[in-house]
């Protein structure tokens, strides 16, 4: 499927409590070493995800989802042209690729990613 779900993030006020909950309920194990402050989780099949502390400026804890796209700039242009609001411009994730975030017409946050080639 084009533009498939590729990653999720849980933005929590208490990351350790959230990790304990998901470990108890879903049996997930976390990697806290690879990216300090960003606890990676592999639920056993794609997509993978991560947990991190909610920034003070963010309104509420939430789950963010990211979709693979072929062209971040073109996707952001389409989102803006159709009434979406760009929240995070195209941003590099060193060694991984790029991401960006925008809202849809309901204010739902959508993340997009373009992995590095190779």
| Same-domain pairing of 32 and 77 | no
CB 54 within 8 A of CB 61: yes
pLDDT number for residue 44:
84
> Residue 1 and residue 3: Cα distance in Å, rounded?
6
pLDDT number for residue 1:
54
| Same-domain pairing of 17 and 55 | yes
| Same-domain pairing of 112 and 81 | yes
Domain region containing 97: 69-118
| Same-domain pairing of 81 and 110 | yes
pLDDT tens for each residue of the chain, 118 residues long: 578 899 999 999 999 999 999 999 889 999 999 999 999 998 888 899 999 999 998 888 999 999 999 999 999 999 999 999 999 999 999 999 999 999 998 888 999 999 998 6
- With vertex at residue 98, the alpha carbon angle to CA 46 and CA 80, rounded to the nearest 5 degrees, is 105
Chain centre distance of CA 94: 15
Identify whether 86 is part of a domain: yes
pLDDT number for residue 118:
67
Within the chain, strands assigned E span 5-12, 30-31, 39-41, 48-53, 62-68, 85-93, 97-103, 109-115
């Amino acid at each position: 499927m084009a533009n498939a779900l590729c990653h999720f993030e849980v933005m929590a006020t208490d990351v350790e409590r959230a990790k304990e909950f998901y470990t108890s309920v879903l049996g997930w194990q976390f990697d806290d070493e690879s990216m300090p402050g960003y606890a990676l989780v592999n639920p056993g099949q794609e997509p993978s995800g991560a947990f991190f502390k909610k920034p003070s400026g963010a309104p509420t804890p939430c789950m963010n989802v990211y979709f693979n796209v072929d062209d971040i700039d073109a996707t952001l242009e389409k989102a803006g042209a159709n009434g979406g609001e760009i929240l995070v411009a195209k941003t590099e994730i060193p060694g991984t690729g790029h991401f960006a975030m925008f809202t849809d017409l309901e204010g739902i946050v959508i993340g997009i990613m373009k992995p590095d080639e190779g």
